[in-house]
Amino acid sequence: MKTILVTGGNGLLGSKLLAEAAGRYRLVSVDLQAGPRFGFSGMEYVQADITNAESLQAAVTKVRPDCVIHAAAYTDVDRCERERAACRRVNATGTENMASFCRSQGITLIYLSTDYVFDGKRGPYSEEDEPHPVSHYGMTKLEGEAAIRRLLEDYVIARTTVLYGYFPGIRPNFVTWLVDKLRKKETVFIVDDQHGTPTLAEDLAGMLLILFEKNTRGIYNAVGNECLSRHEFAVRTAGVFGLDASLIQKTTTDSLNQPAARPMRGGLLIQKIIRDTGRSGLSVEEGLQVVRRQMEADGAFTPEPA
């Protein structure tokens, strides 16, 4: 049985990767915390800091994985703008450390990147479009890509965006935050000038595993199959959950005064991954229905009376 090591295993994508691969692979979850937040049959856990090359090497060399899926990242875009050194240590230096480890051991590396490597002037983007980040987060993720391309031949860079989903105990994402606000009858202000391709976390996990199993190489966009504004995504979420969409008010990015610039017309095209794997990301409706079923089953969402 092949071994897959997942960095950021205690996060949303990490949890979905481990769940998707359970029973098919020997699994090793790596994160900063002293122990795992959840477990799956046959899963091992290793505490390690990817920003410390020696610590990382000592912690994971004995694992000898066939593939590393590097999902660990500093993803708070505005905080990255304020805490630039910390952001670079994780997203750039930490990724270079992981790439060096994979090179020394002859391991396949799958790296999670983002449409924030683009400026958002003419998205959605293909894998061949030239990156030009407008935020420190996007810049450090592109630096991670560059380190991998410099050090490795056996790699996949999987770009994704607007990741959402549900897993017990995981910090809120756009969908779970929005559902909570609307259930409390709170008005929310959502921008209608930022566009992206919302991606269900377990859908992304499935695409990453197929990229490994198909022995692919290079850059792939791994996202859902619809590009829409953040406001439209919010309205669609309200519809699927049977919540009051009139509470969702339009606003613009300029009005928010966010520290980090956003790629306004972002999003990613998926023709390449469909061609090479036969896998297309889910529609927004399909993905949101998955989240609703999971939240209902876990008692995290109860439909309002008709």
Indicate whether 192 belongs to any domain: no
pTM of the model as a whole: 0.97
Catalytic residue among 25, 45, 116, 137: 137
Give the CATH number, domain containing residue 105.
Answer: 3.40.50.720
179 domain residue, yes or no: no
Structural domain contains residue 241: no
Q: What is the spatial distance between Cα 8 and Cα 45, in angstroms, rounded to a whole number?
A: 11
77 belongs to a structural domain: yes
- pLDDT tops 90 at residue 72: yes
Per the CB < 8 A criterion, the answer to whether 273 and 207 are in contact is yes
Answer yes or no: is 247 within a domain. no
Contact 189, 153 (CB under 8 A): no
State the chain's mean pLDDT as an integer: 96
**Residue at 23 is within a domain:** yes
Task: With H, G, I as helix, E, B as strand and everything else as coil, classify residue 52.
Answer: coil
d(C-alpha 239, C-alpha 76), whole Å: 27
CB of 228 closer than 8 Å to CB of 166: no
Number of domains forming the structure of the chain = 1
**Residue 122's pLDDT band (cuts 50, 70, 90):** very high
pLDDT digits (tens, 9 = 90+) for 246-295: 999 999 999 999 999 999 999 999 999 999 999 999 999 999 999 999 99
Q: Which run of H or of E encompasses 288?
A: helix 284-297
Look at residue 304 in the predicted model and tell me its pLDDT.
Answer: 81
Segments forming the whole domain that contains residue 57? 3-169+198-225+266-282
Cis peptide before 172 (omega within 30 of 0): no
pLDDT at residue 305 above 80? no
65: left (phi over 0), alpha (psi -120 to 50) or beta: beta
**In which band, very low, low, confident or very high, does the pLDDT at 59 lie, cut at 50, 70 and 90?**
confident
The pLDDT tens digits of the residues spanning 204-255 come to 999 999 999 999 999 999 999 999 999 999 999 999 999 999 999 999 999 9
182-217 burial: b if 16+ Cβ within 10 Å, else e: beeeeeeebbbbbbbbbbbbbbbbbbbbbbbeeebe
pLDDT bucket at 306, cuts 50 / 70 / 90: low
Q: Supply φ then ψ for residue 229, to 5 degrees.
A: -75, 160
116 in active site = no
Residue 26: HSE in the Cβ half-sphere, 13 Å Cα cutoff: 9
% of the chain at pLDDT higher than 70: 100
| Per-residue confidence band for 55, with pLDDT thresholds at 50, 70 and 90 | confident
- Residue 233: inside a domain: no
Q: Express each pLDDT in 159-210 by its tens digit.
A: 999 999 999 989 999 999 999 999 999 999 999 999 999 999 999 999 999 9
pLDDT (mean) for 117-142 = 98
Q: What is d(CA 229, CA 194) in angstroms, rounded to the nearest whole number?
A: 5
Mean pLDDT of 102-115: 97
218: in domain:
yes
- The predicted pLDDT at position 44 comes to 96
